[in-house]
Amino acid sequence: MGKRKWGDRRDAKLIRDIDAMHYIMPLMYPNRCDNEAFMTLHINLEKTEEYIRRKNKENPDNKIAIFEIIIAATLKAIKLRPHMNRFIANNTMYQRNELTAAFTVKKNFRDDGEETLARVVADDKDTLDTINKKVMDQIEFCKNFEDDSTKAMNFIKKLPGKHFIGWLARLLDKHGLMPKSVIATDPYQCTVVLTNLGSIGMNIGYHHLMNWGTNSIFIVVGKKKKRAHYDKDGNITMRREIALSLTIDERISDGFYYARSLRLLKRLIENPELLETPLDEEVSY
């Protein structure tokens, strides 16, 4: 990780060789929610679903689903495209120390079913199999135990002076000084937050970013469905696809960088055998 220098945060390093435009942008546009870029991706599932069927037949005790492939592909894409692991706090741009993915887990499917927070920390040598295990372990833990952030929030809820507590929390968050126990599984302190609306039969939609925390990427996964494609002669072919919507802080990089990053993400999901290589191993796209 290297020695911490003046200006670094405990969760990230100050970017010292930043170009003038990306230095100025946070000063002119200080709020993350005012700088959202919204994009969608349509993923062809033909090879992906065939891979899932083959993989699950070979490993019936360690089954995998499309959501785990999307998580692994997202983490690999961000690892290979490090600008996507940046964030802006206190009008300053940082490179995050860890690569993390967060998602919510509903303990039971009822209107009053409790939700809890899951967080996966990726290692450079992780593969689809190890990411899948981390996700499954987190889901199992969340369904049976209370995560650290929820414990902290339940304690804070009992304290008097909520307006002062809120002001103090925002001040500490701005400077990266929030106690680790409070933000241990806070999704908005993670590289990417994912939500699987397809698992409850819903299509993709827009989800905003937060001014709280450091999260700069939010991904919504929709349901699988067939979509019409037209060739040059007007003939129609129906393809089974899944759609993703992405909300990204546009200040952390430029449109060309985002476009190449999304092209890589699409390639990884549509060719999941590439996820059998370590996260830090390059792939062509």
User: How many Å separate Cα 204 from the centre of its chain?
Assistant: 15
Which of 106-115, 137-146, 203-212 holds the top average pLDDT? 203-212
Bigger pLDDT: 63 or 200? 63
Q: What is the mean pLDDT of residues 143-150?
A: 72
Residue 108 pLDDT: 60
pLDDT in tens, 249-279: 999 999 999 999 999 999 999 999 999 999 9
Is pLDDT above 90 for 247? yes
pLDDT in tens, 49-108: 999 999 999 999 889 999 999 999 999 999 999 999 999 999 999 999 999 999 988 666
Domains (ranges, CATH) in the chain?
Answer: 31-147+185-276 (3.30.559.10), 149-184 (no CATH)
Instruction: Output the average pLDDT for the chain.
Output: 91
Q: Looking at 58-62, 180-184, 205-209, 263-267, which range is the least confident one? A: 180-184
Q: What is the mean pLDDT of residues 106-113?
A: 59
Is pLDDT above 90 for 200? no
